[in-house]
């Protein structure tokens, strides 16, 4: 393993303590600022960027613009500097995981919409100041648990970093725009000039992932994913998560239009559409809520865990004893987690017992949903 070249190094008035995360464009470190006696986050950019004679000028111009952003859902920029070969940005240190790690545990749909609302507010504010993010994705959202661990504050990071990484022609050596392929708008995949509507597309991908457990296009290399963004229809989110309402489905589909002119034109407009769902859900009942685990019993033949409402074993198809279930208690939309065999609702994106993604299909005989791990249907006992 290559030793970290910045381990224990002092960059100006900042003493490096430890790495916090490594990305494709930068490494983030925990550091201590002695003159103010505080810990900060240092985002250190690749040293080879200094070979570009225009980079430092663009870096300082962009850093000054970012430092003027003051919003509770945008990271605070304290400083930007260069020492020797190193160029870095000094930011507030957020106590909490990024959104990608946060989503490993199941969240209700209402909570997902609230998280999206805060992120969209930050994006809309930045757009109002003339700044486009260009790389909105779960790993660029930090969940601050300092004040309220049960309801963390989403904080968007890395504003402007993608723009700094771009060459003057705005193209990489492969001819595609800089960014993360799973979250790039079609025009960005083609290396075209982008505006705030590319961020709106990325927000749509982010919302899709929070609702469905994965981005719409995530299989393959950069070229295949970019091709899907440009040419392939976006999967219907309601087919991946049946609890998605038609109103929410329409909102997601509008945000993910191939043609920027057909999307929401402003992040605030996108946010307002989602907020209307949050407000309407508060007047009646939550859009979705986690359920407690039903009781389960072991199959007498293969010992697989089965819900106490199962008529047949999900693994071997053996009929379960009549004393184990009540036929009128069969839950519609129940499936078995592939990883831990816990019974779950098919409307969930993740298992509430082990946190693994849930994938489901319909029984060809009775149409009851079941997971890919279930060889036999718990409702009718057929293969």
| Burial degree of 33 (CB within 10 A; 0-12, 13-18, 19+) | middle
Query: Which one, of 210, 217, 383, lies nearest residue 312 by Cα?
Result: 383
Is the torsion defined by CA of 74, 80, 83, 86 positive or negative?
A: positive
Query: Which one, of 21, 64, 67, lies nearest residue 42 by Cα?
Result: 21
Task: Measure Cα distances from 144 to 27, 93, 261 in Å.
Answer: 20, 9, 34
Element at 273 (helix H, strand E): helix 267-283
| Three-state SS at 211 | helix
Of 4, 135, 147, 247, the catalytic one is: 135
Known active-site residue 147: no
Q: Read off the tokens for 325.
A: 């279930």
Q: Which residues contact 173 (CB under 8 A, 6 or more apart)?
A: none
Q: Which residues are catalytic?
A: 135
């Amino acid at each position: 393993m290559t030793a970290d070249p910045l381990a224990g190094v002092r960059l100006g008035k900042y003493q490096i303590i430890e790495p916090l995360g490594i990305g494709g464009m930068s490494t983030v470190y925990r550091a201590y600022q002695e003159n103010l006696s505080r810990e900060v986050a240092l985002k250190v950019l690749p040293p080879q960027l200094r070979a570009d004679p225009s980079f430092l000028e663009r870096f300082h111009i962009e850093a000054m613009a970012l430092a003027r952003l003051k919003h509770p859902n945008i990271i605070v920029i304290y400083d930007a500097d260069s020492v020797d070969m190193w160029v870095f940005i000094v930011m507030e240190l957020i106590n909490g995981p990024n959104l990608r790690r946060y989503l490993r545990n199941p969240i209700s749909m209402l909570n997902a919409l609230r998280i999206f609302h805060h992120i969209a507010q930050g994006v809309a504010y930045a757009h109002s100041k003339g700044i486009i993010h260009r790389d909105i994705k779960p790993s660029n959202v930090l969940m601050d648990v300092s004040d309220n661990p049960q309801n963390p504050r989403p904080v968007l990071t890395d504003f402007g970093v993608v723009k700094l990484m771009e060459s003057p022609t705005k193209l990489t050596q492969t001819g595609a725009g800089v960014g993360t392929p799973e979250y790039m708008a079609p025009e960005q995949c083609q290396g075209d000039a982008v505006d705030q509507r590319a961020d709106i597309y990325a927000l749509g991908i982010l919302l899709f992932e929070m609702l469905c457990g994965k981005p719409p296009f995530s299989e393959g290399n950069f070229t295949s994913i970019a091709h899907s963004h440009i040419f392939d229809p976006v999967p219907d989110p309601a087919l991946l998560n049946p609890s998605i309402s038609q109103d929410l489905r329409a909102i997601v589909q509008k945000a993910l239009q191939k043609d920027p002119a057909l999307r929401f034109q402003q992040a605030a407009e996108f946010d307002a559409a989602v907020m209307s769902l949050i407000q309407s859900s508060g007047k009646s009942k939550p859009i979705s809520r986690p359920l407690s685990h039903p009781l389960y019993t072991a199959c007498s033949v293969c010992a697989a865990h089965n819900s106490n409402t199962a008529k047949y074993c999900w693994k071997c198809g053996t009929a379960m004893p009549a004393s184990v279930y009540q036929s009128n208690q069969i839950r519609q939309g129940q499936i078995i987690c592939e990883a831990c065999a816990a019974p779950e609702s098919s409307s969930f994106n993740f298992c509430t017992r082990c946190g693994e993604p849930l994938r489901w299909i319909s029984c060809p005989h009775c149409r009851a949903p079941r997971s890919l791990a279930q060889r036999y249907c718990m409702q009718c006992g057929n293969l």
